[in-house]
Chain A
Amino acid sequence: MNIQISRRDALLGSGALVVSFSLAGALDQGLAQTAPKPVTLTAVDSFLAIDKSGTVTIYSGKVDLGTGVYTALQQIAADELDVPMSRIEMIQGDTLLTPDQGKTWASITIQVGGMQLRQAAAAARTALIDDAAKRLGVPTAQLTVTDGVISGGGKKVTYTELIGGKSFSIKLDPKQPVKEKDPKDYKLVGNPVARLDIPAKLTGKFTYMQDFRIPGMLHGRVVRPPAIGAKLESVDEGSIKDVPGIVKVVRDGDFLGVIAANEWAAIRGARELKATWSTAETLPDQAKLWDYVRATKVVKDEVTSNVGNTAEAMGKDGAKTLQATYDFAIHTHGSIGPSCAVAEFKNGKLTSWSASQATHALRGQLAQMFALPPENVRCIYVDGAGCYGRNGHEDAAADAALLAKAVGKPVRVQWSRADEHGWDPKGPPTLIDLRAAMDAAGNVTAWESEFFIPQAGPGGLDVPLTAATLAGLPQQPVPFPGNIFQDSAIPYKFANVKTVCHRLETTPFRPSWIRTPGRMQNTYANESFVDELAAAAGMDPLDFRLKYLDPSDKRGIELLQRLAQLANWQKRPSPQSEVSGNVAKGRGMSYVKYELVRTYIGVVAEVDVDRLSGEIRVPKFYVVHDCGQIINPDGLKNQIEGCVVQTVSRTLIEELKFNRSQVTSLDWESYPILKFPQVPEIIIDLIDRPTEKPWGAGEPAASVIPSAISNAVFDATSVRLRSIPFTPAKVKAAMQGS
């Protein structure tokens, strides 16, 4: 970016010397300009600028990962500021320019990032109106704003005249929020504004990270070890001397890469380079994965809820106890576009372009890896293929940086499909034990659960960079697996409840978060076991949930009632009694109040189970969704549909395969995902609450999909599936065992 910096007196505030920016397209200056635009979370100028032409620039630390927030955030800002969306430009995830709003994860882009932006916009608008009142001599109460023009008392002044090209110099204090507009006055928020990025994505004009090029750039590929933990013993550079275009073979410890003048030469070089590696067998036997997980050392127990005394209730005379173990396979992110990044070292400074969901965190990781001060690293977000969490983008950024440093020129690294499937971090295997007790009348008297999940080590919230690991460069020691304890506690008011997360010392693969991390696995076990209890009590699954929900939680109760209506829910206990023919039909329900504090979702799955083949089909899903104030209902539906389809895939099909040395699911045949003919119809009821806070929507709906399917299969067949994925072989085995 070519950043032209000019200094002018502030219009507002105390007249402090401030900085404004205009951005041009050239990329060659990198970090040449170092005068800091404010990027703190406590300054309006961190989030917003209005230039002399009236263009409003939004600076967002949260990025659009294909979810539509590029549009939704602009809706929020335009509405709050009273400017048309056509006058807004947005810069995402650039550590030099955007505030550090944390990783784009956990479905908090609107909920947290959007609300920070709304506050900044509200503060800006208030200050502009105050200034207009002074300039026009008209009281603020008589002023109105339309499309960036403030008018009243027969006079008017534009935002551009008031602030164009200058700084706001206004502080933001989260403890003293600025008054925002009355939600009834929103014109854009709540409306299905068409996504701004979609037309360019349909015409080939959109620039993805994989399309991004800079002058003088070379192409790099990595050569990963054939076994996790294998040591690089020797490299025969002569083996690729006949490949035209090879520039350099880079070896740094066990990191190996090839740099070439063009992409195909880099691919050939990486494919044909002869290297010898030591053998390594660090992975457990996949056939005994759950024994391995159960035997892994527990480093810490976290009690996530504890009510009453479950042990006493379990041991009571006449108590009927139930227990079950659920497991959830290792999953890969499976981005359709393998990870890609470009890096340039110049004058001791590193510029990194990637599709990282966390450019600010990545800056810290790269700074640590190369022993650079963070201010000498600039990470810039460029849209990639959907990542659904922490996939390989950051690793590709580290690969590109290592190669660029070695060759002294900018390098683009494009991962192969096998690099992506084999080496992106994985959703860890999850094992859950549940127990409950019921009295003679069928009331649940105790609920206990134990979750076997990887530890979140001290020292950071990041996933180690593979290039740093291979090259032996410094980085955070223990990988952070995501907040996977969430939703281990339950929303039901049983008399005695104890839920515990056993934090495991290790897990077979470098763990990370994949859409709905932990919340999906935990809700799957909880809501399936709730269904087991309802069946044991002979109760309808909806009535059972309503019986134990907190009666003061009106939104949860309303949601379940609307779900019953939407799905035409017929009250009866599961399993169904009428069974005939080879295809058994069933319905299953699931419910979550996400993390017990935000978005509510209820779903009903309808399934067909082929008793002969064991194949499950999910023809229909009903979803009721309450995330408070809806910013863009069509964007929200798009996200919910994505949650359903992706999670049907994860539930029925997906399982990472591996041998003792490495991942063996290295393509789409060995790690299949759901295809068009298997995609369900999805019927959605959105509950909009314009006067409530907006909550997250990118991932919560995925949390209830596996349990709804499990419960529907039980309803259809009387067979309880407790091991994801629900493959035909498992279904047949379960039916034969019942």
Chain B
Amino acid sequence: MAKSKLLNVNGKRVPVRYDDPQMPLLYALRNDLGLHGPRFGCGLGQCGACTVHIDGKAVRSCQTQIATVEPKQKIVTLEGLASGEKLHPLQQAFIDEQAAQCGYCINGMVMQAADLLAKNKKPTDADIKNALANNLCRCGTHVRIVRAVKRAAAA
């Protein structure tokens, strides 16, 4: 039997339906809610492309079962990171540094880095690299991504 529940996504209460309580949150976000920020990369929690924030913490939405997400938990995706028209400093910094090639991994980079900056306002290069060590980029945009995170930290 299909179940439904309300989620709090990007500040809005939204209904999602699912047949399988084990369905990852990623599929509700992408298919029910039509969001493009969180991306399917591996479904194994290995690449980070699906990263979203739950209550301010970066989590892998491909490893988060829909049944475990509480209606009161605040889910933020890349689409919800900006404050109104004003981009999040990381989004702006990635644009300023032209820190993308294909850009498929970039959602994860931004969401993971936002988690880092919330905890560490002035990260060193090593801090940034360690924080992003489990986010994979195949295009080789790493040097720009590190520069962008530093730029955002300084903003």
Contact = CB atoms under 8 A, between A and B. Distances in A.
Contacts of A667: 42, 44, 46
B138 interface: yes
A638 B148 CA distance: 13
B138 A336 contact: yes
Contacts, number: 175
Nearest to A640: B140
B140 A336 contact: no
Nearest to B19: A244
Given A264-B27, A417-B42, A667-B42, A208 B36 contact: yes
Interface stretch (A193-201, A356-364, A534-542): A193-201
A204 B37 contact: yes
Given A202-B95, A205-B36, A263-B27, A334 B138 contact: yes
A356 to B, nearest CB: 14
A201 B100 contact: yes
Interface in B26-79: 27, 30-31, 35-37, 39-44, 46-47, 49, 77-79
A152 B96 CA distance: 39
B98 A634 contact: yes
B137 interface: yes
Contacts of B37: 203-204
Nearest to A244: B19
Contact of B43 (A194, A210, A417, A634): A417
Interface of chain A, main secondary structure: loop
Contacts of A203: 37, 78-79, 82, 87, 91
A335 B23 CA distance: 24
A199 B130 contact: no
Interface size class of B (residues with CB under 8 A): 35 or more
B102 A265 contact: no
Contacts of A668: 42, 44, 46-47, 136
A682 interface: yes
A679 B129 CA distance: 9
A264 B20 contact: yes
Contacts of B129: 676-677, 679
Contacts of B146: 676, 679
A147 B80 CA distance: 37
Given A206-B36, A386-B104, A638 B31 contact: no
A677 B130 contact: yes
B107 to A, nearest CB: 7
Interface stretch (A60-68, A555-563, A583-591): A60-68
A336 B137 contact: yes
A386 B139 contact: yes
A207 interface: yes
Interface in A599-647: 634-635, 638-639, 641-646
A198 B98 contact: yes
Interface residues of A, number: 61
B132 interface: yes
Contact of A645 (B95, B100, B126, B142): B142
Contacts of B36: 204-208, 211
Most chain B CB atoms below 10 A, which of A264, A644, A669: A264
A686 interface: no
Nearest to B18: A264
Given A202-B106, A638-B141, A194 B18 contact: no
B103 interface: yes
Contacts of A368: none
B114 interface: no
B57 to A, nearest CB: 19
A464 B132 CA distance: 37
B138 A204 contact: no
B140 A337 contact: no
A272 to B, nearest CB: 11
29 contacts: A199-B95, A201-B100, A202-B94, A202-B95, A203-B82, A206-B36, A207-B36, A208-B39, A334-B138, A337-B40, A337-B104, A338-B42, A383-B102, A384-B104, A385-B138, A386-B138, A417-B42, A417-B43, A641-B141, A642-B139, A649-B140, A668-B47, A674-B142, A676-B129, A676-B132, A676-B135, A677-B129, A679-B143, A679-B146
Interface of B: 2, 18-20, 23-24, 27, 30-31, 35-37, 39-44, 46-47, 49, 77-79, 82, 87, 91, 94-95, 98, 100-107, 110, 126, 128-130, 132-146
